[in-house]
Amino acid sequence: MKANSANLALMGAVLLTMVALLVPEYLPKRTWQLVPDEYAWLSIYGDELEGGPSHSEWIDDQPLHWRCRIEEQGTYVYCGFNVLTSENNRDGVDLSAYDEIRLKVRQLTEPRNLRLYMRNFDERYSTLEDANSPQYLNFNIRAQDLGQELVIHLNELTVADWWLAERNIPRDLARPTFSNIVAIGLDYGDYLPPGTYDLVIEKIEVAGDWVSTEHWYLGIIIVWLMGIFGVVTLRLVQLSQATRRDRRRLHALASQHRELKQEANRYKQMSAHDALTGAYNRYGFEKAVSELLADETRSEASLILLDIDHFKRINDTRGHNAGDEIITRFAKLITEHTRDQDLLCRWGGEEFLLLCPNTTVDKAFDLAEKIRKMIFNTQFSPEAPLLVTASFGVSEIGRGEEFLAALGRADRALYRAKDLGRNCTLMAEL
């Protein structure tokens, strides 16, 4: 019975959600009408004060009838009108919550293109002393689009190029902003020949959703999350006793999992590294080398093959335990004096291989010599002094060259070093 009630409640919630998802499509929009409005602050302007030929004048206010008259003499600059939204030209209105502006304008004379514009005052780049300092947003209206109600989305307005060029505005302030609009207007942006141009402005209004679609959907999600949270909380209360009973088992399983993970990591480490020295073994080294050489963008790389001289004699005279200690100390010395990116491998019993990425063969030779001298000057058994030396063969891994080919050249160089009396470094021949 409880399960059936829960299913019915869930079905009801889903149905209500589906209805709620459709609500934004049918909600009336919030509007703010600028024209007609008997209290609107209207301003007209022409360029006669600048020596231009345009004169702007109101013919009638019911409906709003505006005329731009262009004389024969002079060069046309501008002619327009605007609705002021600020008493002080600084504190305007925030249109960020609106998304469109609706216009109904009729041209009584020869149709001409118009320009819709807005001015946004921002103290970061605007001043009261400079009338052109508020951001200039505009949209060009074709003459054939007038005569019926025209809906222009605010995101269609762009910041005028001339305003950006004059102000040298930083990029983060150059985006269209509607947070403090101080004026909205229309003007003839294009050149006007001499004549009379009459315009009847029947409506200018901005519109937007009372609640944005994003916020509406976010509210639905929040309600669902709260409902889910309530159901989950109730369920957790009901299952609290079972949870406490199972917790001990979970802890035991978690402990086993940690032990298995540690064991897996240990085996993984053992599979790729030499147990005595901690250096790579052949399997781990070859895997790391194949990944390095697969990078086509890599730079040069070099190999250093080194072998402890007369190591069998050390084992025979000092014992295998002493030999293991020397190998361990030998690997530690190399690791301490090479870079983190260099790869050290115990290639054989007393034979080691060092891969040096981003290293020319000359630099690898210098490194080998440094290691050789360091080994020669190291006291490996202070309680029973023992001289340990090593021989080195150095080669470069050419681009596109197989690793084994470079290794073969390093091996031949190492054997030549042995033949020359050991305790020396030879560079492989190409």
For 161, list phi and psi in degrees, rounded to 5: -60, -40
Which residues does the annotation mark as catalytic?
A: 350
Residue-level pLDDT at 266 = 64
Among 192, 190, 187, 189, residue whose Cα is nearest residue 74: 192
Q: From first to last of its 430 residues, what are the pLDDT tens digits of the chain?
A: 566 777 777 788 788 888 777 777 777 888 999 999 888 899 998 888 777 898 999 999 888 999 999 998 877 778 899 999 998 999 999 999 999 999 999 999 989 999 999 999 999 999 999 989 999 999 999 999 988 899 999 999 999 999 998 888 898 899 999 999 999 999 987 788 899 999 999 999 999 988 877 777 888 888 888 888 888 888 888 888 877 887 888 777 777 777 767 665 566 656 788 888 899 998 889 888 888 877 766 778 999 999 999 999 888 888 888 889 989 999 999 999 999 999 999 998 899 999 999 999 999 999 999 999 999 998 887 777 788 999 999 999 988 788 899 999 999 999 999 999 999 999 998 7
Q: Which amino acid is at 78?
A: Y
For 330, list phi and psi in degrees, rounded to 5: -60, -50
Spatial neighbors of 117 by CB under 8 A, at least 6 apart, are: 82, 136, 137, 138, 139, 160, 184, 185, 186, 187
Q: Which two tokens stand for residue 119?
A: 């001015």
Angle between helices 213-238 and 240-272 (to 10 degrees): 100
Q: Largest alpha-carbon pair distance within the chain? A: 120
Q: Whole-angstrom Cα distance, residue 427 to residue 364?
A: 9
Q: What CA–CA distances, in Å, run from 218 to 10, 51, 121, 190, 209?
A: 20, 56, 32, 45, 15
For 25, list phi and psi in degrees, rounded to 5: -70, -25
Among 80, 60, 83, residue whose Cα is nearest residue 68: 80
Residue-level pLDDT at 167 = 87
Q: Which two tokens stand for residue 369?
A: 């010599």
Among 227, 167, 169, 160, residue whose Cα is nearest residue 10: 227
Residue 49 DSSP label: G
Q: Are strands 79-84 and 41-46 parallel, antiparallel or unpaired?
A: antiparallel
Alpha helices in 161-293 (DSSP H): 161-167, 213-238, 240-272, 282-293
